[in-house]
Structure 1
């Protein structure tokens, strides 16, 4: 980790865009210890078994058919940063194409530094990720990533069994793969709302309906994954959830500020609200009924239905 090199990379941001993505990568990685990827054969076999078992159990519990991405990677922190620079660049491109700054050089430096800080913070904390590659062009496959140094470090910090913790993370991320695999339309649905929202922002307005629909869809994504995990994982994991939540609420002022700026509190609200919705549905009609949410876009719950699952059950006849 070299903070001086990180600052120098940001200060040297150049190009014609409002963000110098090469400088973002250099700065974020310079500020982040990559961590060790020295896995034993047993660990490599463990990751593979966890993912394979999660796929089998989730297919059975959810009564959903899906395939795993071809791109399944055990990464260090720098690998994760590289993968997500491509993601952020795709999402930001529409804004960059239409941005008009008064002091473009200064704006580019500030924007580059902000993105580098975000990716460095996330790269040091993300445990696993299912990447649906939203807004990607061509035939790129979805990705499933495990940030091994972070999984190892957090298991030690929480004083929990490392193989069990690793397996829990695998089940969570494969749950997201199950959703996007069972609903081929889901990526396009999310992309269209993102594009509408970004188009409005570039025109100086806010498309509240687009962001509301995006929030509702992501609440369903997070909540359904929690339901599947809860029913498919080997044993009760309340101890893992409790310890991890306590860790997320802790940290110094800088870490807490970063979480707020990155909207991580919103993600927590989404999975808690979504989990309540799907648990209510499953208690009345079973997990297979809850899985009907992925049959077609119209089966996504509305804002009102998230707080009254009976309305959704009556509408979709689950």
Structure 2
């Protein structure tokens, strides 16, 4: 788990006046919210408001602060997050997408779909294709990032109020309101920083293993795709096609496994419900804060004032989410390799490059470590890919993909440690289940046949002898009432 999720981390101590957003320079026209340059310290978004602005800008700074503190859109200031994310990609460079790039993406996805038809029983999940700029990626995925992050931020804010005595809440009401407002800005600044950095790295809408884009839309980012292919000594067309295969495979899984989206996001919500705030630490820190000193508030935030405690419930939820993400990524890895290996000379090299990208801290790991506190382990991805490949060998493509019919059929974290054991164990369980079902059906048929036999009347029962008589009764009298 990340030490300081949501930007409540240690200050970087960067006082370099030459750093964008640092020093004591004046306001930046590209930074209308006064948070310093988007590439600055994400743990110190208030630096430009306090101690980094000229006196002439002081009034504007407090106006901006008032706007931030009066935000009523929830525990995360999403307006601020969007602005900071877009500022970040603007500094990186964000060229518009041309017709040639769009045509290249469309053709790659079309060919990828044909190859995948032979590698999986799941039908195509792509209804539209898109070539996105970095800003377009931010706008398209922001609603799902909101669904992912907001339960966590909401729980952090709620935990503060739940653990504070009523009398203390009434006394500290104005201070808590201010802190909630600043917390929303802190959350927004951190999310904006993370999404802006992520937009400069992702190559499609499914890089983080979650359905964060519109359903059924296969999207690639040509600028990032080109950057990814640099240094690989491979044709750009092959790189684009391989990444299109991964994008289209993700879409098949997310579109045709209807419970998967809720399964993944439900694990995040379960993690959020387990968040508890160390009240003793909060009380100790609150006793040192001077509400009239904004710098003291800033320092308290940057030193992890609201760092959540890790609980058994959170560990369970994170384990569940980590396993589910590994299974998604492992399935895509196995299916894409099956489709590409016979046709694409560079398939093996691209597969290993993407695996190493994850192992060295790619977009998924970094973003989840920042926003959720989850770090995907590369070992899980490799183990999951091996498990899906083993299932395909043992049961065929249809049998492998049938595991996605229900979440109870999915392998567990323990199964990832022994993929071959899961495959053979599942086969034994299924054969035993078939025998039990056959026995149950035979028993049911016997009961139905017994019910269908005509019932004898009283006289017939008497004529059949004593064995047919009801106990304690007479053949002429019939059954006892």
Q: TM-score, normalised by structure 1?
A: 0.82
Matched, 1:179 2:253: yes
Alignment of 1:157-236 (within 5 A): 157-201=231-275, 205=311, 206-233=313-340, 234-236=343-345
Contact 2:359 2:378 in 1 (8 A): no
User: 1:36: how far off?
Assistant: 2.3
Change (3 A) 1:215 1:246: closer
Matched, 1:57 2:57: no
Change (3 A) 1:76 1:267: farther
Change (3 A) 1:243 1:179: closer
Root mean square deviation, CA, Å: 3.2
Change (3 A) 1:208 1:259: closer
Alignment of 1:1-318 (within 5 A): 4=28, 5-6=30-31, 8-9=34-35, 11=46, 12=64, 13-14=68-69, 15-16=71-72, 17-32=74-89, 33-41=92-100, 43-70=101-128, 72-98=129-155, 99-100=157-158, 102=176, 103-130=179-206, 132-133=211-212, 141-201=215-275, 205=311, 206-233=313-340, 234-236=343-345, 237-244=347-354, 258=366, 261-262=369-370, 266=376, 268-306=378-416, 307=418, 308-309=421-422, 310-316=424-430
- Tell me the distance in 1 between the aligned counterparts of 2:353 and 2:323: 27
User: 1:250: how far off?
Assistant: 6.7
Larger Rg belongs to? 2
- Tell me the distance in 2 between the aligned counterparts of 1:246 and 1:302: 24
> Unaligned stretches of 5+ in structure 2?
1-19, 22-27, 36-44, 47-63, 161-175, 278-308, 432-481
User: 1:155: how far off?
Assistant: 1.5
Q: Deviations over 1:179-216 (max 9, x none)?
A: 12332222233333333222222697534433333222
Q: TM-score, normalised by structure 2?
A: 0.56
Change (3 A) 1:178 1:23: same
User: 1:248: how far off?
Assistant: 6.3
Q: Deviations over 1:16-49 (max 9, x none)?
A: 34321111111121122342234343x4332112
Contact 1:95 1:202 in 2 (8 A): no
Matched pairs, number = 306
> Unaligned stretches of 5+ in structure 1?
135-139
Between 79-88 and 222-231, report the one with greater CA deviation: 79-88
